Amino acid sequence: MREASDPYEKFKEIAKAAVAKNEKLAEPWKSLRVLILPTSSEEKKLMSGRGAGLYSKYRGDENYGRALFYAALALEEAFGVYRTALREYGQRRWRRGRWGRGRLSGWCTCSTSDG
């Protein structure tokens, strides 16, 4: 999706296809699709409860949907970079034989395989 000229439009195409085929998207894209392109039953749920006022305020606002999408995309990218860096740090510590000593012992659950 990142390589598309407009990732938001590409996401909308993917989301519409997922709804048409009754397929689920992975998180956070599933939750984002529900907010941007809800089915009628999902929209009824969004319009009831404590979030109804907020949802109805932004329901037809294309800029709001676009902002939500780009925020989720940025967070997904940031967490991916963080996850990779943490995994690499864990692998280096494991190779040096230092695992189990220090502040991160027992906290990091990174994969230590070289594959």
In a domain, 23, yes or no: yes
Q: What's the predicted TM-score (pTM) here?
A: 0.53
In a domain, 101, yes or no: no
Per-residue pLDDT 10s for the chain (115 aa) are: 556 578 888 888 999 998 899 888 887 888 888 888 888 888 888 888 787 887 887 887 888 888 888 888 888 888 877 778 788 888 777 766 655 555 555 555 555 454 4
> Domain containing 20: what range?
7-95
Question: Domain tally for the chain?
Answer: 1
In a domain, 55, yes or no: yes
In a domain, 109, yes or no: no
Radius of gyration (C-alpha) of the chain in whole angstroms: 20
- Residue 41: count of CB within 10 angstroms of its CB: 8
Distance CA 51, CA 72 (A): 19
In a domain, 60, yes or no: yes
End-to-end, the C-alpha distance of the chain in Å comes to 26
